[in-house]
Amino acid sequence: QQQVKQSPQSLIVQKGGISIINCAYENTAFDYFPWYQQFPGKGPALLIAIRPDVSEKKEGRFTISFNKSAKQFSLHIMDSQPGDSATYFCAASTNTGNQFYFGTGTSLTVIP
């Protein structure tokens, strides 16, 4: 059973546009929600992370929106650039921290 459900599977955005990727979870014990970016042949790299005590976190062009009551969180990439073309994974973990549950990934393509 997929603990974290991610959508869409793929996304095509024009340069300068906003990319939005959504994730949903069921386990209310999750208390840490990171987003990772992965380029072909590389390991996932941490982009930004949030804890459920805040509803939004922004770092540069990347923003996480978190809705605790709906058990949903999303990644917004503002002013999307061709260099942002990669696969993005959401993840979740409980406070024991010993297992990250990953979504199935979103392949983002930013068209120049």
Among 41, 53, 69, 83, binds another protein (CB under 8 A): 41
Site for another protein in 12-31 (CB under 8 A): 31
Q: Shortest gap between Cβ of 106 and another protein (angstroms)?
A: 10
Among 13, 25, 34, 108, binds another protein (CB under 8 A): 34
Query: Tokens in use for 79?
Result: 């002013």
**Per CB under 8 A, does 103 bind another protein?**
yes
Query: Tokens in use for 78?
Result: 């503002």
- Residue pair 104/2 in contact (Cβ under 8 Å)? The answer is yes
**Per CB under 8 A, does 102 bind another protein?**
yes
Using CA atoms, how far apart are residues 31 and 73, in angstroms rounded to an integer? 12
**Per CB under 8 A, does 36 bind another protein?**
yes
Site for another protein in 44-83 (CB under 8 A): 44-46, 49
Host H or E run for residue 39: none
- Residue pair 110/87 in contact (Cβ under 8 Å)? The answer is no
